[in-house]
Amino acid sequence: MPDESLALQTTVIAVDAMGGDYAPLEIVTGAAQATLETTIRVILVGDEPKISSILAKTEHNRQQITIQHTDQVIENDDVPKLAVQQKPRASMLLAAQLCGEGLAHGMVSAGNTGAYILSAAKYIPRLPGVRKTAIATVYPTQNAQQRKDHFALLLDIGANIHCGVEDLIQFAIMGKIYASDVKGIPNPTIALLNMGKEAHKGGDILSRTYATLKTLPDIGFIGNIEGNDIMKGLADVVITEGYVGNIVMKTIEGIADTLKHIGKYAFKHRFLWMLGLIALSGGLKELKQITDYSEYGGAPLLGFREIVIKAHGRSRAKAIKNAIKVAAKTHRDGVCTKIAREIARCTVNSTPSE
Amino acid sequence: MPDESLALQTTVIAVDAMGGDYAPLEIVTGAAQATLETTIRVILVGDEPKISSILAKTEHNRQQITIQHTDQVIENDDVPKLAVQQKPRASMLLAAQLCGEGLAHGMVSAGNTGAYILSAAKYIPRLPGVRKTAIATVYPTQNAQQRKDHFALLLDIGANIHCGVEDLIQFAIMGKIYASDVKGIPNPTIALLNMGKEAHKGGDILSRTYATLKTLPDIGFIGNIEGNDIMKGLADVVITEGYVGNIVMKTIEGIADTLKHIGKYAFKHRFLWMLGLIALSGGLKELKQITDYSEYGGAPLLGFREIVIKAHGRSRAKAIKNAIKVAAKTHRDGVCTKIAREIARCTVNSTPSE
């Protein structure tokens, strides 16, 4: 168990060492790298012998790594609800418990998304006033060519299925604070994902959400955007219900796969294409960056008292290291506290719509 | 006005000559080409002087073209509901009226989608038993590299917002018949677009739709697919509510734009990339075909007594010609009649879920 007094001095991040396609090797390696580059303390939760054996071969700062052993692991193809019940000592559940008990200030996992959400919900209280937590994906936009750091946020991408007016407004508030404080986007703009630009589009819930967001002076609401505007970066924060966000995110990922497939096909079949691909590799790399989520570390689960970062299942060490850094920054900047404050303020100001 | 006796002998397609970004020039040219390649009769609805002046300069078969004059046009940025009320003699409304009165067997427009749906609904009766009409987009899948003709259908992409269980099942039936009879896909497979593969995913309506589709023996239901499976061609017909289908379709279109943007950027900034682009042009063309909807002619509006084809707003002559051919084929093959028959049969067989 970690030393509580130390936990109060520095930022402590609990890391599920067993979750993800390349666990535990890449997860432990990423955590080790984080201890070399920062003062963050990491609690690696998982199979102690395996973790120790990786650490023995990996440069790291010993003072900043603790291992919490467990031999239970939730696999990617486990049914989330059952897994959380049947494996109460699974690595991601123990990581969540550390956060819930105040022994860690945030957590990172690249494991089973559904089980991870349930793990967080089991041990970490929601922030006061928050109706639903949401997962936000951070993605680079077309503007990324010009401004290297141009990211945007899409939420919710699957913590929920359908959402009401108040839920969507809270997503806007949470997304805005995360975009400005963690991603460093000044005065982020907010948009509602819809099937048309007009205020009345998309049915009752969306049109009422539109009307309510218009009444919030500081939110930076620019109106509805459509599917083709997502990658353009027209808005810094795009709000939608989990069902739609999930499908959109995976559609974009699917297109990245299609591109790779075409690349391989071209590579196999035409010598001229092969030469072209080599010459174009710089351009193709940019293209890959725009569509490959594994380059961008983690997706925050917003609305909990502590920050919960879901790293992509295909995360390598670098992505895990970045996710740990983002979790620590989120804690140090008091982002969760700010979210609670803004939600309290906006709930007072806005007319309850449901 | 068209000659009714002729209309009964050959297939007659009403074409909105004034709708689309390149109307009337490309619309009239496409219709003219159709008359050279087929026996289809076309009624061009729109500004007679403009249409005649284009025809005067374009090779066509005079016997197969009639012009129905009107000077009212619904523009792309018109509000659909208002436009249909305020411009009762608009070209797309008159084209729909020709279908409704039995003077045409189908219609094509590249104009304002919302107004087009309302125009069709105003004059053309729904097929008996059909609860909601749906727009289906036809898109090429990853398999298109191997099999040149591999298309898939996604519906609804925006004729409706939200849908119930029975609506989605009817979309499956309509999509299946269109895919097999018009697109020539043998025994098309059907999938439900969802946020996970499991039967219980996506909330009440989707899980009940899943369960009901499983009880229909001939439908070819393969289960849920996720966003990243759409472009892979895992299913020949993908079913979803209009709100989601619309966003997904536009997201894919947006990525095509992003690719073009990157291509231009590369072209401007690096000589080596430029060389690469030239060498790769064959591969990029395939990529463009996979994402550029304007190459694939029309999206059918299914559920009406006559076939209604929405051509892409950016359609050129070739796309219009293809849309006219597809409309004629749909009529000749009796697709609408088959849809009505299948819907009657499945409604008897399946337990009403709502």
Each residue of A265-303: pLDDT tens digit? 554 554 544 455 555 555 555 555 544 555 566 899 999
Whether residue A232 and residue B257 make contact (CB cut-off 8 A), yes or no, is: yes
Q: Which residues in B179-214 are b (16+ Cβ under 10 Å) and which e?
A: bbbbbebeebbbbbbbbbeeeebbeebbbbbbebbe
Instruction: Spell out which residues of chain B touch residue A137, defining contact as CB-CB under 8 Å.
Output: none
Averaged pLDDT, B301-308 = 97
Mode of pairing for the β-strands spanning B106-109 and B134-140: unpaired
Among A92-101, B201-210, B345-354, which stretch is predicted with the lowest mean pLDDT?
B345-354
Nearest CA-CA distance, residue A190 and chain B, Å = 17
Check residue A353 and give its pLDDT: 45
pLDDT of residue B350: 52
Domain boundaries, chain B: 1-130+304-334, 139-302
| Shortest CA gap B343–chain A (Å) | 27
pLDDT recorded at residue A267? 47
Q: What is the DSSP letter of B199?
A: T
Output the six-digit token pair for B142: 């990853």
| One CATH from 3.40.50.10880, 1.10.3720.10, 1.50.10.10, 3.40.718.10 for B1-130+304-334 | 3.40.718.10
* B258 min Cα distance to partner chain A (Å): 6
Tell me the average pLDDT across A311-333.
92
Q: pLDDT per residue over B264-281, tens digit each?
A: 555 455 455 445 555 555
**Which stretch of DSSP H or E encloses residue B27?**
helix B25-37
A210 pLDDT exceeds 90? Answer: yes
Alpha-carbon distance B136 to nearest alpha carbon in chain A (angstroms):
15
Rounded to whole angstroms, how far apart are CA atoms A91 and A69? 8
Mean pLDDT, to the nearest integer, of B25-41? Answer: 97
- According to CATH, the topology of domain B139-302 is Isopropylmalate Dehydrogenase (3.40.718)
Q: Return the closest-CA partner of residue B67 out of B81, B49, B40.
A: B49
Query: What percent of chain A is modeled with pLDDT above 70?
Result: 81
Nearest CA in chain B to A279: B276
Q: Which CATH superfamily is domain A1-130+303-334 in?
A: Isopropylmalate Dehydrogenase (3.40.718.10)
Lowest mean pLDDT among A140-144, A145-149, A200-204: A145-149
Q: Do A227 and B247 touch (CB under 8 A)?
A: yes
Comparing CB atoms, the residue among B198, B252, B276 nearest residue A280 is: B276
Which residues on chain B are in Cβ contact (under 8 Å) with A147? Answer: none
- At residue A183, the pLDDT reads 82
Nearest CA in chain A to B291: A255
When mean pLDDT is compared over A2-6, A271-275, B107-111, the highest value belongs to B107-111
CA distances from B203 to A79, A153, A253, B208, B239 (A): 16, 24, 23, 9, 15
Asked whether the beta carbons of residue B247 and residue A226 sit closer than 8 angstroms, the reply is yes
Instruction: Spell out which residues of chain B touch residue A287, defining contact as CB-CB under 8 Å.
Output: 259, 262
Cβ distance of A243 and B203 shorter than 8 Å: yes
**Distance from A271 to chain B by nearest Cα, in Å?**
9
Residue from A148, A243, A293 to probe the interface with B (highest B Cβ count within 10 Å):
A243
pLDDT digits (tens, 9 = 90+) for A122-141: 999 999 999 999 999 887 77
Task: Please name the residue of chain B whose CA is at the shortest distance from the CA of residue A159.
Answer: B195
Please judge whether B279 and A276 are an interchain contact, meaning their C-beta atoms are less than 8 angstroms apart: yes
More confident residue, B243 or A7: B243
Position B53 scores a pLDDT of 98
Whether A6 shows a pLDDT value over 50: the answer reads no
**Cross-chain Cβ contact A272/B282 below 8 Å:** yes
Q: For chain A, what is the mean pLDDT? A: 86
**Does the pLDDT at position B309 exceed 80?**
yes
Confidence of residue A174 (pLDDT cuts 50, 70, 90): very high
What is the mean pLDDT of the segment spanning A66-71?
Answer: 98
pLDDT confidence bin for A263, thresholds 50/70/90: low
Q: Nearest CB to A247: which of B195, B255, B273?
A: B195
Average pLDDT over residues A61-80: 95
- Are A262 and B161 an interchain contact pair (Cβ–Cβ within 8 Å)? no
Mean pLDDT value across chain B: 86
pLDDT of residue B2: 44
Given a cut of 90, whether residue B37 has pLDDT beyond it is yes
Could you give the CA distance from residue A86 to residue A81 in angstroms, rounded to a whole number? 9
- pLDDT tens for A22-45 read 999 999 999 999 999 999 999 999
Contacts of A196 in chain B (CB under 8 A): 114
Q: Does residue B59 register a pLDDT over 70?
A: yes
Q: In CATH, which of 3.40.47.10, 3.40.718.10, 3.40.1210.10, 2.40.40.20 is domain A133-300? A: 3.40.718.10
Q: Which pLDDT band, with edges at 50, 70 and 90, does A346 fall under? A: confident
The C-alpha of B106 sits at a distance from chain A's nearest C-alpha, in angstroms, of 27
List of chain B residues whose C-beta atoms are within 8 Å of the C-beta of residue A249? 227
Mean pLDDT, residues B27-31 taken together: 98
Residue A261, pLDDT score = 60
Q: Residue A41 forms beta bridges with which residues?
A: A12
Task: Tell me the one-letter amino acid at B113.
Answer: T
pLDDT > 70 fraction of chain B, expressed in percent and rounded: 81
For residue B146, the surrounding DSSP H or E stretch is none
Q: Closest residue of A to B241, CA-based?
A: A244
pLDDT for position B118 = 96
Yes or no, beta carbons of B276 and A279 under 8 Å apart: yes
A287/B259 touch (CB, cutoff 8 Å), yes or no: yes
Other Cβ atoms closer than 10 A to A271: 9
- Asked whether the bond before B156 is cis by omega within 30 degrees of 0, the reply is yes
pLDDT for res A334: 94
Nearest to A250 among B162, B227, B279 (CB): B227
Q: Taking residues A73-102, report their average pLDDT.
A: 96
* Residue bearing the bigger pLDDT, A314 or B110: B110
Contact (CB<8Å) A276/B273: no
Percent of chain A topping pLDDT 90: 68
Distance CA A117, CA A212 (A): 28
Residues B227, A249: C-beta atoms closer than 8 Å: yes
State whether residue B239 is helix, strand or coil. Answer: strand
Please write down the long-range contacts of B141-148, taking CB distance under 8 Å and 24 or more positions apart.
B141/B231, B141/B232, B141/B233, B141/B290, B142/A258, B142/A261, B142/A262, B142/B231, B142/B232, B142/B233, B142/B290, B143/B232, B143/B233, B144/B233, B144/B286, B144/B289, B144/B290, B145/A261, B145/A262, B145/A265, B145/B286
Tell me the chain A residues in contact with residue B281 when contact means C-beta distances shorter than 8 Å: 276
Give the pLDDT band of residue B256 (cuts 50, 70, 90). Answer: low
pLDDT at residue B3, as a whole number: 45
**Cβ contact B279–A273 (<8 Å):** yes
Intrachain domains B1-130+304-334 and B139-302 with the same fold: yes
Give strand pairing partners of B309.
B108, B300
Work out the minimum CA distance from B171 to partner chain A, whole angstroms: 19
User: pLDDT value at position A127?
Assistant: 96
The DSSP bridge partners found for residue B108 are B15, B309
**pLDDT tier at A348 (50, 70, 90 boundaries)?**
low
Give every CB contact of residue A57 below 8 A, 6+ residues apart in sequence. none
pLDDT of residue B231: 83
pLDDT band for position B89 (cuts 50, 70, 90): very high
* pLDDT bracket for residue B8 (50, 70, 90): very low
CB-nearest to B202 from A231, A243, A266 is A243
For tokens 């009505």, the residue is B340
Residue B263 has a pLDDT of 55
Shortest Cα distance, chain B CAs vs residue A45, angstroms: 28
How close A39 comes to chain B (CA, Å)?
38
